[in-house]
Amino acid sequence: MMDQKFRNCIEACLACGIACNKCATECLNEDDIKMLARCIQLDRQCSVICFAAANLMSIGGEHASHLCAECAEICRACAEECEKHAAMGMDHCKECAEACRKCTEACEAIAS
């Protein structure tokens, strides 16, 4: 019923939504939160859109294109921000950036 492209995207969105939630929580436990404020803000938006995209695609795929376009865009912004902190040794940002990159790719395959 649902083809492989949708299955991949649902899985990538769920993994990304979870990674973003965990990253934001761990950012809030760091010493210098101010430096991470943009990261937390993007994590929160990314989590909302990722769960919504997975939810919508598992109900039906006919309206997924715009939502996946938006999801890819937010994931890319979140990955870029997380990568800055990953380079400074923050593992939660590294994991989150990887999940965001995979999700960007999977969403672009649906959006296009």
Residues at the contact surface with its own copies, assessed by CB under 8 A: 1-2, 10, 14, 17-18, 21-22, 24-26, 28-29, 31, 33-34, 37, 40-41, 44-45, 47-49, 51-52, 54-56, 58-60, 63, 65-67, 69-70, 73-74, 77
Closer residue to its own copies in complex, CB, 48/83: 48
Closer residue to its own copies in complex, CB, 26/103: 26
Element (H, E) at 68: helix 64-86
Q: Which of 99, 84, 65 is nearest to 27 (CA)?
A: 84
* R_g over Cα of the chain: 14
Closer residue to its own copies in complex, CB, 17/101: 17
Minimum distance, C-beta of residue 37 to its own copies, in the bound complex (Å) = 5
Minimum distance, C-beta of residue 83 to its own copies, in the bound complex (Å) = 18
Mapped onto helix, strand or coil, the DSSP state of residue 89 is: coil
Degrees to nearest 5, angle at CA 47 with 6 and 56: 35
Minimum distance, C-beta of residue 30 to its own copies, in the bound complex (Å) = 9
Which two three-digit tokens encode residue 26? 């761990």
Spatial separation of the C-alpha atoms in residues 27 and 92, rounded to whole Å: 8
Closer residue to its own copies in complex, CB, 18/109: 18
